[in-house]
Amino acid sequence: MSLKSRLRRPARALEGATVVVRLGETLQTERLVLRKPREADAQALFEAYTQDAEVTRYMIWRPHALLAQTQDFIAGCLMDWDSGLRQPYVLAFWDSIESPIGMLEARLRPPLVDIGYVLSRAHWGRGLMPEAIRTLSADALSLAGVFRIQAICDAENRASARTLEKSGFVREGRLERYSVHPNIGHEPRPCLMYALCR
């Protein structure tokens, strides 16, 4: 079965007063496929960026020293994907969908979706992440139960702030002492809140 024929429309359901939000299992952009992770992705992600101290500088986790850490991370992604808590997509080019180069995660908290993202350094600067974020955001905001997509980044993470601005997000404010980024220090750091609403 071709990839395109496997694409599913975003599903949504109302269960009593609780809004359940679910994005497609696969999303597509001009250059990228966003798909559910597989256990076998751990090796490619480890090689691409999970052990890279420059990529992980502003993340809330430390670089992985062992492949097993990335394997555990993927196992957690799959558990949360299946439970409906979050949809952490891996990003891959259309012509090599088995070789992920990054991730874009949607944490499903209707009426909002909170996103996080990371890309292999080899692919920075080509507008790939804004392309992925724009597609995911449009998809999520087309759901009846979603009104807001938000993202929080370290106040010094210029590349991340620019990524959100290029994705159409609006800077709403600065959150003092908001989040610990352990690769920089142990104290909570200021962050910027960005959002795209409908």
Ligand X SMILES: CC(C)(COP(=O)(O)OP(=O)(O)OC[C@H]1O[C@@H](n2cnc3c(N)ncnc32)[C@H](O)[C@@H]1OP(=O)(O)O)[C@@H](O)C(=O)NCCC(=O)NCCS
Site of interaction with ligand X (CB under 6 A):
55, 58, 117-119, 124-130, 153, 157-160, 162-163, 166
In this complex, which beta carbon is closest to ligand X, that of residue 79 or of residue 159?
Answer: 159
Minimum gap (Å) between residue 17 Cβ and ligand X: 32
CA distance 43 to 173: 38
Q: Cβ-closest residue to ligand X?
A: 125
| 139 versus 154: smaller Cβ distance to ligand X | 154
143 versus 181: smaller Cβ distance to ligand X: 181
Nearer to ligand X, 70 or 160 (CB): 160
- Write down the least CB distance from residue 22 to ligand X, Å: 24
Residue with tokens 């691409």: 48
Least spacing, CB of residue 61 vs ligand X, in Å: 11
Of 106, 108, 107, 112, the closest CA to residue 135 belongs to 106
- Output the smallest distance, CB 147 to ligand X, in A: 22
Strand runs (DSSP E) across the chain, as ranges? Answer: 11-15, 18-22, 26-28, 32-35, 86-93, 102-109, 112-119, 148-154, 170-179, 189-197
* Encoded tokens for 144: 């009846």
CA distance 105 to 126: 20
Residue located via tokens 């696969």: 26
